């Protein structure tokens, strides 16, 4: 099995509504997004996926999030823009264009959340 990863960053503000602490207040992060693609076989060039293609697709997926107030975006209308929900959103944005196996979103150097779908589930 082969796995590749690319990393991209964006800046955005959010608040976690109904959170019993400081995270309910408006604050921002320099978010880091890691996108993983896993395959059993390499393509004819010996790659899992072209890094440039995966970076471009990821940049397109995070463009609407960058320098925004996440709570105001339609995708987070009914859910809190937590790292978990951001990871799922980016995964879903990319899943039609690439064989993404997992998306991890870091809101700080020590705190991250991942979204992936169980195979065979």
> Mean pLDDT throughout 12-31?
96
SS3 content of the chain, % helix, strand, coil (to 5): 30, 35, 35
**Which uninterrupted H or E stretch holds 55?**
helix 51-63
> Mean pLDDT throughout 26-35?
98
Q: Which residues are catalytic?
A: 23, 67, 107
| pLDDT at site 106 | 98
Cα 99 to Cα 25: distance, rounded to the nearest angstrom: 36
Walk me through the domains of the chain, giving residue ranges and CATH numbers: 2-115 (3.30.479.10)
Cα 41 to Cα 31: distance, rounded to the nearest angstrom: 31
pTM of the model: 0.94
pLDDT at 40 over 70: yes
pLDDT at 98 over 90: no
Token reading at 111: 């705190």
| pLDDT at site 18 | 96
pLDDT at 119 over 90: no
Q: Provide φ and ψ at 39, rounded to 5°.
A: -145, 150
| pLDDT at site 44 | 96
* 41-67 pLDDT tens trace: 999 999 999 999 999 999 999 999 999
If you ran DSSP here, which 8-state letter would residue 89 be given?
H
Q: pLDDT-based confidence at 6, cuts 50/70/90? A: very high
| pLDDT at site 120 | 54
Q: pLDDT-based confidence at 71, cuts 50/70/90? A: very high
Quickly count: other Cβ atoms within 10 Å of residue 41's Cβ: 7
């Amino acid at each position: 099995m082969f796995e590749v990863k690319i990393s991209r960053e964006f800046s955005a503000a959010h608040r976690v509504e109904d959170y019993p602490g400081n995270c309910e207040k408006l604050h921002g992060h320099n978010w880091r997004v890691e996108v993983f693609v896993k395959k059993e076989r390499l393509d004819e060039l010996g790659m899992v996926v072209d890094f440039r293609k995966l970076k471009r697709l990821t940049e397109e997926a995070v463009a609407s999030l960058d320098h925004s107030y996440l709570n105001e975006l339609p995708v987070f209308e009914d859910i809190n823009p937590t790292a978990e929900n951001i990871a799922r959103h980016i995964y879903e944005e990319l899943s039609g264009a690439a064989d993404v196996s997992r998306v991890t979103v870091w809101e700080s150097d020590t705190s991250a959340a991942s979204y992936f779908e169980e195979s065979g589930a």
